[in-house]
Structure 1
Amino acid sequence: MVVRHLLRVNRRLRRAAATSDVPGVVMIQIDGLSAPLARWALAGGALPTMARWLSSGSHTLVEWHAQLPATTPASQAGLLHGASAAVPAFRWYEKESGRLLVTNHPRDSALVEARFSDGRGLLADGGVSVSNVFSGDAPTSLLTMSTIGARGASGRPARYVSAYLLDPFGLTRSLFLTVAEIIKELHQARRQRLRRVRPRIVRTASYTVLRGLTNVLLRNLNLAVVAEHIMRGAPAVYCDFVDYDEIAHHAGPARPEALAALEGIDDVLATLEAVALAAPRPYRFVLLSDHGQSQGATFAQRYGNAVEDVVRRLTGAASPSVAGTGNDEHAGRIGVMAGELGRRAPGETPAAPGSEVVVVASGNLAMIYLNRFPGRATMEDIQERHPRLLRGLVRHRGIGWVLVRSRRLGPVVLGCAGRRLLVSGRVDGEDPLAGYGPYAAADLLRYDGLPHVGDIVVNSSYDPVTEEVAAFEDLIGCHGGLGGWQDRPLLVHPSAWPVDAELSDADAVHRQLVRWLERFGDRPGPGRRRGR
């Protein structure tokens, strides 16, 4: 029924589109899905369309490494622009301007993209960006954080939202399914409480509504937009589906309700596959994720107070400025959709108060900024100004390691029983990075050099047996730091497309995607014109 409806409403576009035998490429991002969890979901039957592609031999699943920070904006800066180093976290503080940047705010994402865009992103040659943080320099960018205010290049996005909501089939179906999703959430949250599932958090009324909107309204709107541009014959489309990530944050990445969200995304894949058969050109599908998630009781649940409370006690600061202890990562997506209808960029960029100490959390990673020091404060500066701070942090049971920069030693990772010098690799005492994976030291050495990294970087404890971390936000499933599956995303690509180099980070995946578009798609490569 959905396929027939999409073909019917787009038949005029199909007749007007120029035909081509050069394949287009549809890239679907399943936000937050780790490769290990995907294999589990495939075995459990939650991803039958993907399983069919893999078992038939048409596609291959590979794992890639998401460098610190394992977040959507950092990974998409890499995947879409090859510029992951421009984003140090989901949210961060910039001392020079006294400004807090949050990447689910359109003005902030637009500012960040302007810093690294060179006009040659993944989608630059006629591509379409749908529901992403950054645009990939797509000439048509819809429901995308960084371009909601740039009306000239966004393809009249309000038309898509209003047309979808005014369509009797789409509106009636979405309203019914949204209410059903809300009822489902209420039942599943109650079931967790009655069964005393641990860990768990209170699933608030605002999240209940947000789940209904992201898992139904936004998903179906994304589907409608992608289907339209397939029928228009777009050379490349990239769309981020956040359904799984949103539920995994609140219920847990491997919980039944999170796996059920994957079934919904798999239905989208099957629908788009059917729509593509009627398109004016053949299409190839690429699936990928931006990061994984790691599970665990929150820092506050385990230890009775938040990380900013620990910092307050150790520094004597009356009230550190705090940012990033909420759980609204995808609320900005709904704000973007509302903004498309209202023809304005929703939300304002918050300015961090002029406190001496600013604490910013993203998942199980936190950054501490000391405003008394205009640049990056050194370990020696910190010890002189706050002699109890570093020692108190590393001795806390909920903290696994602390990264600081020494004047003499360079970047140093401190633990409760030892330290690691990142430049030389020397370990004194016990290695604080033991158990955090083979990429931990290299990731931290790179991370130390990124712009706007905190004076102190703090990662939660990690249990390698249970693979649990402790989010500094109110989230059961989290990502952004080290520990567990959060740095293990996936890439599912046509088997006939070779992987030319190690997929060591998001920038490497970007380069591989560009090569595939040039060799097998409709992106002009060196010495080749479009429509070869």
Structure 2
Amino acid sequence: MTPAQSYRVKFGESLGATIQRVLDVDVLASHSDASEYADIAPEVIEAFAVITPAARAGTRRALRRARDWLRSRYGIREIILPEKYRVAARHDVVVTYSSCLALVYFARIERQLDLSDIMEEPSWRALYDALLDHPGIGLVATRTPDGIHLQNRAGRAVLRSGVLRTLEGQNPLELYGTELYALNAIDDLVSQPNAGDCVLFGAYDGYDIISFDDQVGAHGSAGGDQVYPFLIAPKRLEVENAVIENARDIHRVVMTRYAEADTTET
């Protein structure tokens, strides 16, 4: 995993709320907007502050500062029922996210959209530009006839068949990694038939990555240790010299060996 900072804590709202604000629409969230449990943690701290002796005023003030901090950042609801998606009903925009990866779908059109489709719709283009400009978003990936279009505030590039070509400014994958296995993984991810019309990576500074969930370690996109897989397997499988670069390799390296063992036994 790569060390992570929570998007919601750092920017004061979830990614879904950011997109809601940009689109300025009513949304349906994956949790209730109101909960009787949301203020439990701050109330527990307030209870301790109340019973703290008056002679220990410094302790009481510290507890109440902690209470206010929790209220500004965390509710029990967000911990127990973390938001995983939002639907911007009027604009048919859906965003779903896990860890440092997020997918945005413009659901008004059933087929997958490419970058030119997004640019033709003013509200979609405005959202695209806002995501590019947001300090919590490190990369916006879309599809084009020429390959996978990758863009951030520093520059843009196109990726096709493992070849990355910078189109403008700086290489947007400079911090995330440009090794062939990383490029192939990004290509495979964005090219999947169920991938979002926009694929978002959390901002990465070379050490910490922004997680769209409340996590201290993240995986799901690129950047840092999350791109280095490891495999723990029985010695009899003889996988110590195997090359594993993506999820498909697990089947080749592991499952085929089990299949061979079953064939030998029968």
Q: Under a length normalisation based on structure 1, what TM-score does the superposition of the two structures give?
A: 0.36
Match for residue 146 of structure 1?
A: none
Match for residue 383 of structure 1?
A: 119
Partners in 2 of 1:369 and 1:321 — Cα distance?
15
Match for residue 427 of structure 1?
A: 166
- After superposition, the Cα gap between the structure-2 partners of 1:495 and 1:328, relative to the gap in structure 1 and judged at 3 Å, is farther
From 286, 298, 308, the counterpart of 2:6: 298
Q: 1:460 is aligned with what amino acid?
A: G
Find the residue that maps to 1:508 and give its secondary structure: helix
Q: 1:421 is aligned with what amino acid?
A: V
* C-alpha contact 1:433 1:441 (8 A) present in aligned 2: no
Match for residue 262 of structure 2?
A: 523
Find the residue that maps to 1:308 and give its secondary structure: helix
Match for residue 154 of structure 2?
A: 417
Cα RMSD after superposing both structures: 3.0
Match for residue 23 of structure 2?
A: 315
Partners in 1 of 2:219 and 2:171 — Cα distance?
23
Trace 1:319-338 onto structure 2 (pairs within 5 A): 319=27, 321=29
From 184, 200, 204, the counterpart of 1:458: 200
| Residue 108 of structure 2 corresponds to residue 372 of structure 1 | yes
Q: 1:458 is aligned with what amino acid?
A: L
- After superposition, the Cα gap between the structure-2 partners of 1:352 and 1:317, relative to the gap in structure 1 and judged at 3 Å, is closer
CA shift for structure 1 position 384 = 2.4
Partners in 1 of 2:112 and 2:209 — Cα distance?
27
Residues 113-139 of structure 1: CA deviation (Å, up to 9, x unaligned)? xxxxxxxxxxxxxxxxxxxxxxxxxxx
Match for residue 65 of structure 2?
A: none
* C-alpha contact 1:367 1:455 (8 A) present in aligned 2: yes
Between the two proteins, the alignment pairs up a number of residues equal to: 209
Partners in 2 of 1:313 and 1:351 — Cα distance?
12
Partners in 1 of 2:129 and 2:86 — Cα distance?
30
Find the residue that maps to 1:470 and give its secondary structure: strand
CA shift for structure 1 position 459 = 0.6
CA shift for structure 1 position 295 = 2.0
- After superposition, the Cα gap between the structure-2 partners of 1:351 and 1:501, relative to the gap in structure 1 and judged at 3 Å, is same
Find the residue that maps to 2:262 and give its secondary structure: coil
| Residue 190 of structure 2 corresponds to residue 448 of structure 1 | yes
From 75, 93, 115, the counterpart of 1:357: 93
Trace 1:382-401 onto structure 2 (pairs within 5 A): 382-385=118-121, 386=123, 387-401=125-139
Residues 256-279 of structure 1: CA deviation (Å, up to 9, x unaligned)? xxxxxxxxxxxxxxxxxxxxxxxx
Question: 5+ unaligned residues in a row in structure 1: which ranges?
Answer: 1-292, 330-349
The alignment-based identity, stated in percent, is: 26
Q: Under a length normalisation based on structure 2, what TM-score does the superposition of the two structures give?
A: 0.68
* C-alpha contact 2:4 2:216 (8 A) present in aligned 1: yes
Partners in 2 of 1:364 and 1:410 — Cα distance?
23
| Residue 220 of structure 2 corresponds to residue 480 of structure 1 | yes
CA shift for structure 1 position 373 = 1.5
CA shift for structure 1 position 495 = 7.7
Partners in 2 of 1:432 and 1:444 — Cα distance?
13
Question: 5+ unaligned residues in a row in structure 2: which ranges?
Answer: 32-76
* C-alpha contact 1:321 1:358 (8 A) present in aligned 2: no
- After superposition, the Cα gap between the structure-2 partners of 1:487 and 1:322, relative to the gap in structure 1 and judged at 3 Å, is farther
Partners in 2 of 1:327 and 1:523 — Cα distance?
45
Partners in 2 of 1:498 and 1:299 — Cα distance?
38
Q: 2:184 is aligned with what amino acid?
A: A
- Higher strand fraction (1 or 2): 2
Partners in 1 of 2:109 and 2:237 — Cα distance?
54
CA shift for structure 1 position 353 = 8.6
Q: 2:109 is aligned with what amino acid?
A: F
Partners in 2 of 1:363 and 1:470 — Cα distance?
8
* C-alpha contact 1:308 1:322 (8 A) present in aligned 2: no
* C-alpha contact 2:229 2:245 (8 A) present in aligned 1: no
* C-alpha contact 2:176 2:223 (8 A) present in aligned 1: yes
CA shift for structure 1 position 516 = 3.3
* C-alpha contact 2:86 2:95 (8 A) present in aligned 1: no
* C-alpha contact 1:321 1:357 (8 A) present in aligned 2: no
From 483, 492, 497, the counterpart of 2:238: 497
Residues 450-487 of structure 1: CA deviation (Å, up to 9, x unaligned)? 121111111111121xx211111122222222222223
